[in-house]
Amino acid sequence: MTTGAETTIRPTAADPKSQYFAVRNLRAYYGDSYIVQNVSFDINEGEILALLGRNGAGKTSTLRTIARAGSPDLRSGEIWLKGEPVHQMQSFQAALHGIQLVPEDRRIIPGMTVEENLDLACISGELGWDYERIYALFPRLKERRKQEGTTLSGGEQQMLAIARALARDLKLLLLDEPYEGLAPVVRHDIEKALIEVRNAGITTIIVEQNAVAALKLADRAVILDTGEVAYDGTAQEVLDNEKLRHDYLAI
């Protein structure tokens, strides 16, 4: 690990149960491959945290571990959301407790309209935002609510994937590369929506290859380097620190 002198790692709180969200010493594997290597960090309620790092650094694996996706396999470590032990949960339980992962491929359900995709999200667990509020955030989804979800543009599918998370009782939104393949103008629409989501008090972890865009949106940043935390601090510090960006983000 190329730790520059100015690289800092914000100390984690002594009691992860007292944090809004905390992960401690996460170690996750794909078979024998040790991928998420002793990752710890805290997030305050309503914060946006940018989880960054080069390709293959372990960002997707960390999000999947938090969402209890099954693979990678969490072998040790703890995940706490508002004092609830997420590390002891299966993926459906983590979802019922308010953790919603929006994966890179968005997983819009084929053969269903926009509104039916939302209906399906509301089948189990407590409800979140009503459709009126969701459509006020994403007017394009309202216009297309009777259209099959998979026929939407990439940006609209990303909006629908976020909308599905909002339709449930959402406490922690996990976004994996939400801007991938999107034109800047569409990205700006999604950025505006994510700011409104934060203003509503929802906490977000955003993984993005477009690190500058993610850092401008985020309050905090955690940088992973080969599965380990290499930096934990403010997003602004990463924007200001050329060495940090060069060493870990290649930007």
Ligand X SMILES: Nc1ncnc2c1ncn2[C@@H]1O[C@H](COP(=O)(O)OP(=O)(O)O)[C@@H](O)[C@H]1O
Q: Report the nearest approach of ligand X to the CB of residue 250 (Å).
A: 13
- Taken as a whole, the chain contains a residue count of 251
Which amino acid is present at 150? T
Q: Report the nearest approach of ligand X to the CB of residue 158 (Å).
A: 17
Footprint of ligand X (CB under 6 A)? 30, 33, 35, 53, 55-61, 71
Q: Residue 157 — φ and ψ, nearest 5°? A: -65, -35
DSSP annotation of 12 reads P
Nearer to Mg ion, 51 or 165 (CB): 51
Residues that contact Mg ion, how many (by CB under 5 A): 2
Nearer to Mg ion, 27 or 59 (CB): 59
Alpha-carbon gap, residue 26 to 172, rounded angstroms: 18
Query: Residue 83 binds which entry of ligand X, Mg ion, none, with Cβ cut-offs from 5 to 8 Å by kind?
Result: none
Q: Report the nearest approach of ligand X to the CB of residue 75 (Å).
A: 15
DSSP annotation of 148 reads B
Q: Report the nearest approach of ligand X to the CB of residue 64 (Å).
A: 8
Residues 50-79, mask of contacts with Mg ion (x by CB under 5 A): ---------xx-------------------
Q: Is 76 helix (H, G, I), strand (E, B) or coil?
A: strand
Alpha-carbon gap, residue 215 to 237, rounded angstroms: 9
Query: Residue 92 binds which entry of Mg ion, ligand X, none, with Cβ cut-offs from 5 to 8 Å by kind?
Result: none
The alpha helices in the chain, defined as continuous H runs, are 59-66, 91-96, 114-121, 131-137, 139-143, 154-166, 184-199, 211-217, 235-240, 242-244
Q: Report the nearest approach of Mg ion to the CB of residue 136 (Å).
A: 31
Nearer to Mg ion, 52 or 217 (CB): 52
Q: Report the nearest approach of Mg ion to the CB of residue 181 (Å).
A: 14
Query: Residue 55 binds which entry of Mg ion, ligand X, none, with Cβ cut-offs from 5 to 8 Å by kind?
Result: ligand X
Nearer to ligand X, 124 or 226 (CB): 226
Q: Report the nearest approach of ligand X to the CB of residue 53 (Å).
A: 5
Do 121 and 167 contact (CB within 8 A), yes or no?
yes
Peptide bond into 72 cis (omega under 30): yes
Query: Residue 166 binds which entry of ligand X, Mg ion, none, with Cβ cut-offs from 5 to 8 Å by kind?
Result: none
Listed in sequence order, the residues at least 6 apart from 26 whose beta carbon sits closer than 8 Å to its beta carbon are: 36, 38, 39, 40, 62, 65, 74, 76, 77, 78, 79
Residues that bind Mg ion (CB under 5 A): 59-60
